[in-house]
Structure 1
Amino acid sequence: MRAIFASGGTSSTHSPDIGRRTFGLSLAVGAALSLVPGLVRSAAGHGAKNVVLVHGLFADGSCWSEVIPRLQGEGLNVTSVQNPLTTLDDAVAAAQRVLARQEGPTVLVGHSFSGMIVTEVGADPKVSAVVYVAARAPDVGEDYAALAKRFPTPPASAGIVFDGDEGRLSEAAFLRDFAGDLPAARAKVLYAAQAPFQKTLLTGMTRHAAWRSKPSFYAVSKRDRTIDPDLQRFMAKRMGATTIEVDASHLSLISHPQEIAGLIIRAAAV
Structure 2
Amino acid sequence: MKTAQRFKLAAAALAIGLSFATGAIAADKPSVVIVHGAFADGSDWAKVIPLLQAKGVNVVAVQNPLTSLEDDVAAARRAIDAQPGKVVLVGHSWGGSVITEAGANDKVSSLVYIAAFAPDAGQNSAELGKDYPTAPGFAHIKADASGFLSLTKEGMTKHFAQDLPAAATAVMTATQGPILGKSFEQKLTVAAWKTKPSWFLVANSDHMIQPALQRDMAKKIGATVSSVNSSHVPQQSQPAKVAQVILDAVNQSK
- The alignment's TM-score, normalised by the length of structure 1, stands at 0.82
Q: Distance in 1 between matches of 2:129 and 2:150?
A: 19
- The root-mean-square deviation of aligned C-alpha atoms, in Å, is 1.5
CA 45–77 in structure 1, closer or farther in 2 if over 3 Å, else same: closer
Work out whether 1:137 is the aligned partner of 2:118: yes
Identity %: 46
Q: Report the Cα distance in structure 2 between the residues aligned to 1:173 and 1:81, rounded to whole angstroms.
A: 24
Q: Which amino acid aligns with 2:231?
A: S
Count of aligned residue pairs for this structure pair: 228
Separation in structure 1 between the aligned mates of residue 160 and residue 232 of structure 2, nearest angstrom? 6
Equivalent AA in structure 2 for residue 130 of structure 1 = L
User: Which consecutive residues of structure 2, in runs of 5 or more, have no partner in the other structure?
Assistant: 1-21
Q: Is the 8 A contact 1:221 1:249 kept in 2?
A: yes
Deviations 1:152-180 (A, max 9, x none): 11011111111111210111111000000
Asked whether the equivalents of residues 46 and 269 of structure 1 are also in contact (C-alpha less than 8 Å), the reply is no
1:16 aligned residue? none
Give the match for residue 8 of structure 1.
Answer: none
Unaligned 5+ segments in structure 1 are 1-40
Work out which of the residue numbers 109, 117, 132 in structure 2 matches 1:128. Answer: 109
Map of 2:44 onto structure 1: 63
CA contact (8 A) 2:126 2:185 kept: no
Provide the residue aligned with 2:151 in structure 1: 169
How many Å apart are 1:205 and its aligned residue? 1.3
Q: What residue in structure 2 maps to residue 9 of structure 1?
A: none
Structure 1 moving runs of 4+ over 3 Å:
44-48
Could you tell me whether the CA contact under 8 Å between 2:112 and 2:249 is conserved in 1? yes
- Partner AA of 1:167 in structure 2: L
Measure the CA separation in 1 of the matches of 2:26 and 2:66. Answer: 33
Deviations 1:123-149 (A, max 9, x none): 111001100000000011113322311
TM-score (norm 2): 0.87
In 2: Cα distance, 1:259 partner to 1:45 partner: 22
**Aligned position for 1:178:** 160
Q: CA deviation at 1:45?
A: 6.3
- Aligned twin of 1:252: 234
